């Protein structure tokens, strides 16, 4: 009996290693996201700074910003509640970090596998709103208070349709275990749930819209509208606490993107092989299983970061909405749409014959592949076209200069 209560160092070492690995990944993702944000903004809005400074590929600029925030003076306003002011950023960061405990990066590569993993992730990420409220209220500033109340209303509202959209693939899979859901999408690309039926297809885009809003990203970033609220709920923050707030935001972006990748986009499955690499290589030997799972982790992280890139793409493309438009979009449109999708997929699973389901499944996949091919072709032709013909040469600057020189020569001859 005494052996059952014997202390083992592994009881502390294994959770510690897992926690360090997760917080390191979250920190690296935040650093990468800051670098990517600058690059995306520089390319979309023709900002020369992100494409010219910071050493090779601009990575030194992000490093310099991080060091600046670490050594910057930490100022607490006189009117602030000191305890709440200090506590708020860490509560927000904790809510974002805890979601990674149930997020599987590969086949068995998860800190804690849970049968209700997706429910757990949505629940702990919703606790970030408590940190936002404390940040706004504890700052002792009306601008911060207004921003905190806006963000609390926005996050609580958008979490409802976001959770309902997650229920759509949960009904198809019959499980909330993220590892099991991913294994059910094992195989080629058409096995991904985004192609399963019209309701899961629409649920993916509805979920991604709600997730973008819940992460305080434009065009839903009215809590940080500099034209109205200076910087919103984090106006009074500087230094490491300001860094913690944005680590929570970028961490949540990766977490919600991970849920989308698992529930709709096949998780760590490449979509190009009949089985995931860990299963295929594991039959040949133990080391090859590890190698295959490392590849699975890389595939999964790539999908997450690609969805984060799409969030940034949207931010630097669309103008922000007014706060009444933000709330109306959720309550008047996204919430009813998510309810219709939930009822529709339930009826689809119960009443539609499997033959019809299979035909529609293949039709959705075929249409998506045709549209993807057309988009790639248009992108290729637009980027190589001279100015005034569709889209100017985005990448081939020599073509643009050559075209302008020819035009000046023609005008001079006239």
Between residues 58 and 121, the one the model is more confident about: 121
Q: Provide the pLDDT confidence category of residue 413 given band limits of 50, 70 and 90.
A: low
Mean pLDDT score across all residues of the chain = 85
- pLDDT at residue 286 above 70? no
Provide the pLDDT for residue 263: 96
**Which long-range contacts (C-beta less than 8 Å, at least 24 apart) are formed by 26-29?**
26/96, 26/97, 26/100, 26/247, 26/251, 26/254, 27/247, 29/250, 29/251, 29/254, 29/305
Q: Provide the pLDDT confidence category of residue 265 given band limits of 50, 70 and 90.
A: very high
* DSSP H or E stretch at residue 31: helix 10-44
Provide the pLDDT for residue 396: 47
Q: Provide the pLDDT confidence category of residue 371 given band limits of 50, 70 and 90.
A: very high
Q: Which 3 state secondary structure label does DSSP give 69?
A: helix
Provide the pLDDT for residue 1: 45
Give the bridge partners for 109, in sequence order.
106
Residues 159-164 have a mean pLDDT of: 95
What pTM did the predictor assign?
0.88
- pLDDT at residue 157 above 80? yes
Provide the pLDDT for residue 8: 63
Q: Over the stretch 241-253, which tens digit does the pLDDT of each residue have? A: 988 998 898 999 9
Q: Over the stretch 389-407, which tens digit does the pLDDT of each residue have? A: 555 444 444 444 444 554 5
Cα–Cα distance measured from residue 333 to residue 45, given in angstroms and rounded to the nearest whole number: 30
Cα–Cα distance measured from residue 330 to residue 214, given in angstroms and rounded to the nearest whole number: 11
80-94, 326-340, 391-405: least confident range: 391-405
Q: Over the stretch 290-331, which tens digit does the pLDDT of each residue have? A: 788 888 999 999 999 999 999 999 988 888 888 889 999 999
Q: Provide the pLDDT confidence category of residue 285 given band limits of 50, 70 and 90.
A: low
CA distances in angstroms from 195 to 199, 357, 366, 368, 372, listed in the order given: 9, 11, 9, 9, 14
- pLDDT at residue 130 above 60? yes
Provide the pLDDT for residue 400: 44
Residues 86-94 have a mean pLDDT of: 92
Cα–Cα distance measured from residue 31 to residue 25, given in angstroms and rounded to the nearest whole number: 10
121-125, 154-158, 317-321: least confident range: 317-321
Q: Is 308 left (phi over 0), alpha (psi -120 to 50) or beta?
A: alpha
Task: Return the percent helix, strand and coil in the chain, to nearest 5.
Answer: 75, 0, 25
Other Cβ atoms less than 10 A from the Cβ of 78: the count is 7
Provide the pLDDT for residue 340: 97
Residue identified by tokens 């001859």 is 413
- pLDDT at residue 10 above 80? no
Between residues 274 and 85, the one the model is more confident about: 85
Contact 136, 144 (CB under 8 A): yes
């Amino acid at each position: 009996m005494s052996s059952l209560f014997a202390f083992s160092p592994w009881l502390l070492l294994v959770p510690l290693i897992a926690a360090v690995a997760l917080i390191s990944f979250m920190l690296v993702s935040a650093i990468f996201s800051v670098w990517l944000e600058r690059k995306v903004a520089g390319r979309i809005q023709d900002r020369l700074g992100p494409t010219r400074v910071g050493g090779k590929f601009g990575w030194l600029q992000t490093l310099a910003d991080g060091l600046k925030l670490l050594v910057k003076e930490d100022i607490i306003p006189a009117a602030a509640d000191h305890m709440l002011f200090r506590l708020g950023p860490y509560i927000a960061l904790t809510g974002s970090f805890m979601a990674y405990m149930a997020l599987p990066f590969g086949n068995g590569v998860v800190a804690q596998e849970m049968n209700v993993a997706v429910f757990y992730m949505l629940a702990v990420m919703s606790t970030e709103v408590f940190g936002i409220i404390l940040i706004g209220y504890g700052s002792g500033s009306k601008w911060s208070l207004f921003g905190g109340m806006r963000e609390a209303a926005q996050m609580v509202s958008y979490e409802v349709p976001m959770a309902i959209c997650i229920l759509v693939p949960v009904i198809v899979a019959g499980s909330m275990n993220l590892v099991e859901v991913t294994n059910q999408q094992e195989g080629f690309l058409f096995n991904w749930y985004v192609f399963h039926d019209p309701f899961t297809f629409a649920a993916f885009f509805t979920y991604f819209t709600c997730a973008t809003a819940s992460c305080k990203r434009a065009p839903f970033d009215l809590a940080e509208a500099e034209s109205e609220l200076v910087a919103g709920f984090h106006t009074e923050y500087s230094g490491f606490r300001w860094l913690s707030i944005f680590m929570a935001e970028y961490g949540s972006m990766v977490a919600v993107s991970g849920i989308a990748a698992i529930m709709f986009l096949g998780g760590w499955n490449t979509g190009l092989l009949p089985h995931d690499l860990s299963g295929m290589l594991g039959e040949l030997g133990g080391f090859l299983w590890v190698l295959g799972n490392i590849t699975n982790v890389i595939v999964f992280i790539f999908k997450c970061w690609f969805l984060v890139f799409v969030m940034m793409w949207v931010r630097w493309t669309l103008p922000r909405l007014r706060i009444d438009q933000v709330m109306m979009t959720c309550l008047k449109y996204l919430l009813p749409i998510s309810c219709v999708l939930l009822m529709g997929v339930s009826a689809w699973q119960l009443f539609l014959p499997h033959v019809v389901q299979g035909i529609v499944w293949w039709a959705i996949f075929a249409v998506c592949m045709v549209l993807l091919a057309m988009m790639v072709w248009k992108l290729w032709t637009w980027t190589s076209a001279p100015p005034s013909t569709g889209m100017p040469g985005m990448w081939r600057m020599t073509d643009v200069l050559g075209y302008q020189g020819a035009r000046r020569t023609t005008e001079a001859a006239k």
